[in-house]
Amino acid sequence: MTVVSPATLARAAEALRGMAYEHRLHVLILLRAGEATPTALAEVVPVHVTALSHHLRHLVDAGLVRRRRRGRQVFYSLPDEATVRLVDEVLRFVRDAPRA
């Protein structure tokens, strides 16, 4: 039996909540290809730009996305290779898991 600390469980739950919306997961999938601006993401994700901004804030708060500002431009990206692998594993799970 593996024992996990309450802090680790809380962080894991926060990450999963961050991914728990279709649009947020879509953003994570898009960011696997590299950083993007909110404008570029809004061209692909079928949601109003205000809602997209809300989703991006949740992803940043969950530690799933990094925000970088250059002048007036804002760029979003996945923070590390572990996050890329997490998104890949979620997609693999859905693809490979038997449907109930």
98 C-beta neighbours (distance < 10 Å), count: 4
Write down the pLDDT at residue 2: 85
Write down the pLDDT at residue 100: 67
Which amino acid is present at 91?
A: L
Residue with tokens 């079928």: 46
pLDDT (tens digit per residue) in 23-80: 999 999 999 999 999 999 999 999 998 999 999 999 999 999 999 999 999 999 999 9
Q: Which are the contacts of 40, defined by CB distance < 8 A and separation ≥ 6?
A: none
Report the largest interatomic distance among the alpha carbons of the chain, rounded to a whole angstrom: 50
| Alpha-carbon gap, residue 84 to 97, rounded angstroms | 20
Residue with tokens 């894991």: 12
Q: Are 45 and 28 in contact (CB under 8 A)?
A: no
